[in-house]
């Protein structure tokens, strides 16, 4: 007996990230570098996707395009309902505030403010009261076991601690998309494992979609989806 298909909820149907024919080239002198060519992909909500490939294959460029901090040369990219290739600077600012959090290999914390202020930055950027923002930041740092370190400047923290501060900063606004660019690259095995499991947990609770770039084949195990890149192009499986 045929049963009519059960309509799946809309959130599952519309992927959080959709890219079509996405390209980015740079001019270096007279030479044109195709950092990324003709990338098409969907990443559903709640997924833990890994962008895998050797150094220079275009992983960072892809993440920058998905995060709205770089504009594509060609193609379309829609994230959380925003068509980034068409968005104005003001729309991109709004998108960054609401939809995306970044984590990097080298943490990228502001050196001249304390850990809790770094974590609170995204809330302060949208005008939240300082006391409230710092309270929220400290709550997350407590959860991550960094409560005692909240007043320290980045230079006073270990690499693993700085990366946890950076993760706290990326998630404080609860953005649907978290982009992690080689987040374990500068960490020892234990630190790397801690970061990956933290990201996996974030994806698992369904609130966040993770896109992690790495050249480390072993990290693929943790993922729901692998996007392999080679010389700026997507490799078929």
Partner 1 sequence: MTPLRLALADLGFDRLRTMLSIAGMASVIVCAMLLGAMAAALSDFLAVPSTGSNLIILDGNYVDPSDSTLPDEVMRAAEALGPQLVSRVSPLFFRQLRVNDRLVQVRAAPLADWAGAQHLSLQSGRWPNIGNEVVIGEGLADSAGWNLGSVLIIYGRPMTVTGTFRSPGVAFAAVYMPLELARDLFGPDRLTQIVTVQVALGADGETVSARLAADPEIAGRFVVFYEDTYTRRNTELLRDLLNLMYVGSGLALLAVGMGAYMASALHLAERPRESALLRLSGFSVAQVSAYLLLRTEMLAAGAFCIGVPLASAWMSALYADGPAYVFNVPIRLTADPNRVAIFAALTALSAFAGALVSTAGLLRASVAQGLRS
Residue 26 touches ligand ADP, criterion: CB under 6 A? yes
Q: Nearest 5°: phi and psi at 154?
A: -50, -40
Instruction: Report the partner that residue 58 touches, choosing among partner 1, Mg ion, ligand ADP, none (CB closer than 5 to 8 A by kind).
Output: ligand ADP
Selection from Mg ion, partner 1, ligand ADP, none that 87 binds (CB < 5 to 8 A by kind) is none
Nearer CB in complex with partner 1: 124/226:
124
The residues, any chain, with a CB within 8 Å of residue 32's CB and separated by 6 or more, are 25, 26
Q: Which residues bind partner 1 (CB under 8 A)?
A: 60-61, 64, 67, 69-71, 89-90, 93, 96-97, 102, 104, 108-113, 117, 120-122, 124-126, 130, 169, 173
Count of CB atoms within 10 A of residue 110's CB? 12
Q: Which of residues 58-97 bind Mg ion (CB under 5 A)?
A: 60
Q: Report the partner that residue 57 touches, choosing among Mg ion, ligand ADP, partner 1, none (CB closer than 5 to 8 A by kind).
A: ligand ADP
Q: Which of residues 56-75 bind ligand ADP (CB under 6 A)?
A: 56-61
Between CA 168 and CA 176, with CA 174 as vertex, the angle to 5 degrees is 120
Q: How far apart are CA 103 and CA 61, in angstroms?
A: 14
CB neighbour list of residue 175: distance below 8 Å, 6 or more residues apart: 98, 99, 100, 101, 208
């Amino acid at each position: 007996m045929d049963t009519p298909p059960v309509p799946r909820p809309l959130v599952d149907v519309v992927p959080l990230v959709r890219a079509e024919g996405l390209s980015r080239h740079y001019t270096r002198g007279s030479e044109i570098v195709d950092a990324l060519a003709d990338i098409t992909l969907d990443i559903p909500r709640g997924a833990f996707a890994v962008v895998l490939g050797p150094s220079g294959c275009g992983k960072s460029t892809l993440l920058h395009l998905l995060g709205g901090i770089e504009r594509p040369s060609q193609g379309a990219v829609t994230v959380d309902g925003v068509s980034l290739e068409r968005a104005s600077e003001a729309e991109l600012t709004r998108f960054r505030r609401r939809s995306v959090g970044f984590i990097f290999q080298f943490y990228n914390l502001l050196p001249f403010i304390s850990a809790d202020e770094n974590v609170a930055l995204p809330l302060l950027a949208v005008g939240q009261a300082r006391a409230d923002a710092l309270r929220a930041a400290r709550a997350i740092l407590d959860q991550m076991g960094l409560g005692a370190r909240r007043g320290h400047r980045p230079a006073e923290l270990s690499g693993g601690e700085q990366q946890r501060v950076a993760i706290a900063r990326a998630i404080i606004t609860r953005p649907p998309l978290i982009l992690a660019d080689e987040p374990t690259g500068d960490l020892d095995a234990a630190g790397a494992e801690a970061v990956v499991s933290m990201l996996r947990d974030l994806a698992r609770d369904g609130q966040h979609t993770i896109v992690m770039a790495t050249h480390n084949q072993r990290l693929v195990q943790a993922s729901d989806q692998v996007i392999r890149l080679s010389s700026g192009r997507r490799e078929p499986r």
